[in-house]
Structure 1
Amino acid sequence: MKTQKYAVNQYLIESMLAKVKEGEIAIPEIQRPFVWDGTQVRDLLDSLYQGFPVGYLIAWRNPDVKLKDGSTASGKMILIDGQQRVTALTAAVLGEQVVNKDYKKTRITIAFHPVNERFEVCNTAIRKDSAWIPDVAPVVNGDIKLTKAIKHYLEANPAADEDAVEEALSALTDIGKKQIGLIELSHDLDIETVTEIFIRINSKGTVLSQADFVMSKIAADQLYGGPLLRKCIDYFCHLAVAPEFYGQIKENDPAFASSDYFQKMAWLRNINDDLYDPAYTDMLRVAFATEFGRGKLADLVSLLSGRNFGTKQYEETIAEESFGKLATGVRAFINETHFQRFVMIIKSAGFVSAEMVRSQNVLNFGYALYLRLRAAGVNESLIETYVRRWLVLSILTGRFSGSAETQFEADIRLTYEPDFGAVLSWLEQAELSDAFWNFGLVQALEVSATSHPLFWVFVASQVKANDKGFLAKDVTVRDLVSHLGDIHHIFPREYLKKAGMARNQYNQIANYVYAQDSINIKIGSKAPADYFETVCGQCEGGSLKYGAIDNVDELKANLAVNCIPASVATMRDSDYEAFLRQRRLLMAAKIRDYYFSL
């Protein structure tokens, strides 16, 4: 027989808010900041006033924890669904400030018209109109007694119907007595079960990640600096994307601005590079891997709760130690030297644009590897080589395309080996054999779409080698990638479409090359044999039309660095498949040389 996984209880609104205020129910700010607008808060109050249901809240009870003195502390509940509703009630009923989507503290003030029984977001006109009570909070929460509120309103509106006003204001004060349902999930449920219950109940289709649960645990902690740590994670990730946010933190959150965390991330205010913009999931994954040697965030949730995996009990000392280690990992993550050097390593491998690395897990593990090797005292130049190679190896083999967490955990354990160079060498022998380079990679290159990771590895190889763009004399591939140059079809798309070829044929990555817009436009829909006739003419003293290459040796060199067979100069649509086969072989060979040069 299946045991009940939850309990459903009804609470008075005022009782629920009291539990939140006293910390018995923690609002983890999973969806931070408060994203509702004033009209949504108004509508929530109106629904309660009318006696309409406002949905259930869902909370997950923390396990009871064994304290250091041997006693037991009961776990508080963490709200995992209903944050916006509870925050709205806290703002409208208790009159507390909320942090809006711009990370500024603000008051959402709801007004009430007793005669018309209407709620509205307060504005200047309403404040000047005596027919409105401009702020319902003092009335609903009892700061202003009902009899006094009625008296003041009737004095300001002597023509109003006394009985109707009394009835309306009485109903207003009863909002706090309305009930709201709370689904309390058992503390012994695992994350997967809690997530499934959440999805089944939540009709909005929202999905909570394991990182959301970690953030919940951090935010709900009051003993080991959890709220400050959560802010650090949240603010860093926001600041990495929007450096101008620095001033808002300083202005709107002076308590955090005076913290050690804020000083350590202040360098971001001058950085506009978006090569590695981590979200909180990324930061948690890296910090957990580097400090705990684990990869599954569900384990971090358990450790922050104090779980002893051996006894299956929950202990305060484990929770304290886990918060300390996580904070250490976060500090290492946000360290300017660490972060900037890792970004430099990515760029030194030829990945100079954010679009070139499509897998965030590749970057996450690369950073975790960098931090682990640095902590182990490995020589800096060796670290750079190892990280560059691991990044490219991971992309070439699709290392994190399956069960990323499982792979992450297995790989982070490898960083604890005494000689990581030997580990990497063994992995190269196993996964990057001659068969991979000569057959596997060549076959894998038979794919369409510029978004494919292998295309970007090829581009990175060109960037690292400082290769010139297609038919360019001076403009490099790096220039074109960095300044939005055009990805050109060597056999023009329109030309192949007219020959009856489908999208997956003309968009083969072996048909792509970086070129200047001006060259691409002039080529138009001409066959290679046609436009190369003019290019060859340029090399024999003819006028320049396609780029600035004006001698045969430069042309040969340009085709070579772009992995284009010289025979392209005479090719038409009937030669297209043969061209693709030849170019894939050349691209694979270039990628191989590139990898071993890292």
Structure 2
Amino acid sequence: MTEKYNASNISLDQILNYIKSEEIAIPEIQRPFVWKPRQVRDLIDSLYKGYPTGYLIISQSPDMKLKDGTLSLGKKIMIDGQQRVTALMTAIAGLKVLTSDFKKRRIKIAFNPQASEESEEEIFKVQDNAILKDKKWIADIAELFKSDFDQWAFVNEYCQQNAEVNGSQMNKILMRLLDIKNRQIGVITLDKDLNIDEVTDIFIRINSQGAKLNQADFAMSKIAANTEYGGNALRKAIDYFSHLAVEPDWYTEMAKDTLFMETLYASKLKWLKDDQESIFDPDYNDILRISFMYKFGRAKLKDLVSLLGGRDFESREYKAQIAEESFAKLSEGVIDFMNQYTFSNFILGMKAAGFISNKLINSQMTMDFAYTLYLLLNNDTTIEKSQIKHYVAKWFVMSTLTSRYTGSPESQMDFDIKRIREKGFLAFFQEVEEANLSDTFWNVRLVQQLETQVINSPFFNVFLAAQIYEGNNALFSNGTKVGYLITLMGEVHHIFPKQYLRNNGFNERIQYNQIANFTYLDTQVNKEISDDAPNVYFTGAIEHCENGSSLYGNIADINCLKKNMAENCIPSQIIDMDYSNYPEFLVARRKLMAAKIKDYYFSL
């Protein structure tokens, strides 16, 4: 049997030349640049020290689709190693790269010629302001690799600024750094006759140290490689939507893609150029998953990969008709996903339920299923339209409280989608509630779940959503809403002040940072309370209100204060509590928080 690849070594300099001449191309089965700056620094350090950096996998397949929509004939296709090659582009070639947040920028790596491998000083660092002020650091190594770099002049200037450095020694150090470009990189080149499926399969089998591709990546490769059923336009629609959701101003750049602007999809996402909402900015993974669940009634993206390839699950054969139908259905799903009215109303429903900020969203999978459910119910004639938002919000809260989509999300989503189709949503939802939201859940399990110091706990976030939904004011405030503090200026503060607890023996974070000890307060109120014991500052607040004045905030009426304490779940007995009662306070407040969440859920 003939080999499907050959192995060779290519110098880093040659690879950089391939990049500059665009002989190396990036295919659709690759991700954007996702490395952190520190990882770029580590790669340069490994090259400098002569450490192995792994193989690059290159394909010469003539029919693979590239980022610009053209075919790859005559080009070298980077199948594995994009992150490393892109790191070299930005650190050594000095080129800007498009990061995962759709920003073009340089990652600059600095070099310290005075450090050694034996010393504790770092030889390379990611450039920062401190490095720019320190004369011993070469702030950007890309300057040294430019074709017009004058090494003699550079060494002289460096030695003038660093009198303790010997010019001859400095020259040798620079020679070693510049020798990086002669380092040999292992390259595996795949046979040009391999098709996209075989190339993708090889990628799966490679034990790469780079960013691992997931099923959404492979689905995108299937979509982009297809020209017969409009795959390239669909791929762009998905990519462009996720880009615009994060950066609406990018629309002017998108509009330069004249071929795309002539497609059906262009008008469907034009509205995003004016969109400023950020509680749900879906990426390509979310768009694929939601569109697939909604139109196909399945949730496992590996099934989408198979269907786009034409697989018949019953006969296990591959049929062109199935591929064509699958592309058509997915396209319909993506178009419905992008619908401004539908998307905007879903967001409005989530915000109306109290989830006004992405800070309150713990699970993207839970959000994905919520939007899928919205799309499904929007096309269900048995569901009253005015109730859709309420059902979706309620399902989202139930899923969040029970961690429904955090263990094996695809399997759970697959199960839920199929049961909704079989039984109808309302009947299935009733079954789920009866199975998961018993009195024991509300009175015991939820109270236990609130025993955590994780500030981003889903249970604490649902509690905050409940406060926002009910229009609750922050503690000691009449008019400053909790929602306002969350979105604009507020911070959570300790009801039993942190320093007060530490002064009295509660020294561990797990003790004083319990979420039952957190509440949103105006910063000025927090400063006024300082480190007082709760029995001191609550008693003072009550006495002032009884006299018609306010001690903290702007509440000067005792009934208003009691209402304010109740909506923030502050136990009434707090007026008698000091540090010795702290554990008792936590238990009491958790029960009040759980009761508030329960009331909130059943009012949705």
- Decide whether the 8 Å contact of 2:549 with 2:555 is kept in 1: no
CA distance in 2, matches of 1:442, 1:103: 41
Of residues 420, 436, 448, the one that matches 1:415 is 420
Instruction: Please name the residue that 1:278 is paired with.
Output: 282
- Decide whether the 8 Å contact of 1:28 with 1:215 is kept in 2: yes
Inter-CA distance 410–551: structure 2 relative to 1 (3 Å threshold): same
Deviation at residue 410 of structure 1 after TM alignment = 0.8
The answer for unaligned runs of 5 or more in structure 2 is: 11-24, 41-46, 64-75, 88-95, 105-143, 151-184
- Decide whether the 8 Å contact of 2:495 with 2:518 is kept in 1: yes
Inter-CA distance 188–99: structure 2 relative to 1 (3 Å threshold): closer
- Decide whether the 8 Å contact of 2:307 with 2:326 is kept in 1: yes
Question: Residues 206-234 of structure 1: CA distance to partner in whole angstroms, max 9, x if unpaired?
Answer: 21111111111111111111111111111
Question: Residues 107-130 of structure 1: CA distance to partner in whole angstroms, max 9, x if unpaired?
Answer: xxxxxxxxxxxx97789x99xxxx
Deviation at residue 316 of structure 1 after TM alignment = 1.2
Inter-CA distance 315–9: structure 2 relative to 1 (3 Å threshold): farther
Inter-CA distance 33–329: structure 2 relative to 1 (3 Å threshold): farther
Are residue 394 (structure 1) and residue 393 (structure 2) matched? no
Inter-CA distance 396–59: structure 2 relative to 1 (3 Å threshold): farther
User: RMSD of aligned C-alpha atoms?
Assistant: 4.2
Are residue 354 (structure 1) and residue 358 (structure 2) matched? yes
Are residue 591 (structure 1) and residue 597 (structure 2) matched? yes
CA distance in 1, matches of 2:308, 2:356: 37
CA distance in 2, matches of 1:372, 1:413: 12
Instruction: Please name the residue that 1:167 is paired with.
Output: none
Question: Residues 43-97 of structure 1: CA distance to partner in whole angstroms, max 9, x if unpaired?
Answer: xxxx9xxxx999442569999xxxxxxxxxxxxx996425689999xxxxxxxxx
- Decide whether the 8 Å contact of 1:306 with 1:317 is kept in 2: yes
- Helix, strand or coil for the counterpart of 2:337? helix
Deviation at residue 412 of structure 1 after TM alignment = 1.3
Question: Residues 357-384 of structure 1: CA distance to partner in whole angstroms, max 9, x if unpaired?
Answer: 1100111000000101112233222211
- Helix, strand or coil for the counterpart of 1:564? coil
Inter-CA distance 537–236: structure 2 relative to 1 (3 Å threshold): same
- Helix, strand or coil for the counterpart of 1:57? strand
CA distance in 1, matches of 2:579, 2:53: 67
Identical aligned residues as a percent? 42
Equivalent runs, 1:180-191 vs 2, <5 Å: 181-183=188-190
Inter-CA distance 187–597: structure 2 relative to 1 (3 Å threshold): same
Are residue 448 (structure 1) and residue 459 (structure 2) matched? no
- Decide whether the 8 Å contact of 1:437 with 1:592 is kept in 2: yes
Equivalent runs, 1:546-585 vs 2, <5 Å: 546-585=552-591
User: TM-score, normalising length from structure 1?
Assistant: 0.73
The answer for unaligned runs of 5 or more in structure 1 is: 14-24, 41-46, 64-76, 89-97, 106-118, 127-177
CA distance in 2, matches of 1:556, 1:405: 46
CA distance in 1, matches of 2:423, 2:263: 37
CA distance in 2, matches of 1:12, 1:571: 72
- Decide whether the 8 Å contact of 2:26 with 2:82 is kept in 1: no
- Decide whether the 8 Å contact of 1:30 with 1:215 is kept in 2: no
Instruction: Please name the residue that 1:523 is paired with.
Output: 529
Question: Residues 476-520 of structure 1: CA distance to partner in whole angstroms, max 9, x if unpaired?
Answer: 111111213121111111111111211111111111111111111
Of residues 222, 245, 253, the one that matches 1:248 is 253
Equivalent runs, 1:46-445 vs 2, <5 Å: 55-57=55-57, 80-82=79-81, 181-183=188-190, 197-198=205-206, 200=207, 202-203=208-209, 205-251=210-256, 253-377=257-381, 378-417=383-422, 419-445=424-450
Deviation at residue 577 of structure 1 after TM alignment = 0.8
CA distance in 1, matches of 2:465, 2:362: 13
Equivalent runs, 1:460-471 vs 2, <5 Å: 460-471=465-476
User: TM-score, normalising length from structure 2?
Assistant: 0.73
- Decide whether the 8 Å contact of 1:373 with 1:415 is kept in 2: no
- The structure with the larger Rg is 1
Amino acid at match of 2:388: I
Amino acid at match of 1:7: K
Are residue 8 (structure 1) and residue 5 (structure 2) matched? yes
Amino acid at match of 2:522: Q
Instruction: Please name the residue that 2:115 is paired with.
Output: none
Are residue 496 (structure 1) and residue 497 (structure 2) matched? no
Amino acid at match of 2:313: F
Instruction: Please name the residue that 2:179 is paired with.
Output: none
Question: Residues 449-486 of structure 1: CA distance to partner in whole angstroms, max 9, x if unpaired?
Answer: 21100001001111001111111111111111121312
Instruction: Please name the residue that 2:550 is paired with.
Output: 544
- Decide whether the 8 Å contact of 1:27 with 1:83 is kept in 2: no
Amino acid at match of 1:231: K
- Decide whether the 8 Å contact of 1:59 with 1:81 is kept in 2: no
- Decide whether the 8 Å contact of 1:472 with 1:548 is kept in 2: yes
- Decide whether the 8 Å contact of 1:62 with 1:305 is kept in 2: no
- Helix, strand or coil for the counterpart of 2:476? coil
CA distance in 2, matches of 1:224, 1:531: 69
- Decide whether the 8 Å contact of 2:308 with 2:326 is kept in 1: yes
Question: Residues 511-543 of structure 1: CA distance to partner in whole angstroms, max 9, x if unpaired?
Answer: 111111111111111110111122112202375
CA distance in 1, matches of 2:323, 2:77: 16
- Decide whether the 8 Å contact of 1:372 with 1:415 is kept in 2: no
- Decide whether the 8 Å contact of 2:54 with 2:186 is kept in 1: no
Instruction: Please name the residue that 2:141 is paired with.
Output: none
- Decide whether the 8 Å contact of 1:243 with 1:271 is kept in 2: yes
- Helix, strand or coil for the counterpart of 2:255? helix
Number of matched pairs: 493
- Helix, strand or coil for the counterpart of 1:549? coil
- Decide whether the 8 Å contact of 1:565 with 1:583 is kept in 2: yes
CA distance in 2, matches of 1:314, 1:62: 23
- Decide whether the 8 Å contact of 1:195 with 1:207 is kept in 2: no
- Decide whether the 8 Å contact of 1:103 with 1:248 is kept in 2: no
Instruction: Please name the residue that 2:177 is paired with.
Output: none
Deviation at residue 544 of structure 1 after TM alignment = 3.1
Deviation at residue 7 of structure 1 after TM alignment = 3.1
Deviation at residue 256 of structure 1 after TM alignment = 1.3
CA distance in 2, matches of 1:26, 1:516: 50
Instruction: Please name the residue that 1:532 is paired with.
Output: 538
CA distance in 2, matches of 1:53, 1:483: 45
Instruction: Please name the residue that 1:509 is paired with.
Output: 515
CA distance in 2, matches of 1:32, 1:471: 48
Inter-CA distance 553–381: structure 2 relative to 1 (3 Å threshold): same
- Decide whether the 8 Å contact of 1:240 with 1:277 is kept in 2: yes
Are residue 31 (structure 1) and residue 28 (structure 2) matched? no
CA distance in 2, matches of 1:299, 1:349: 33
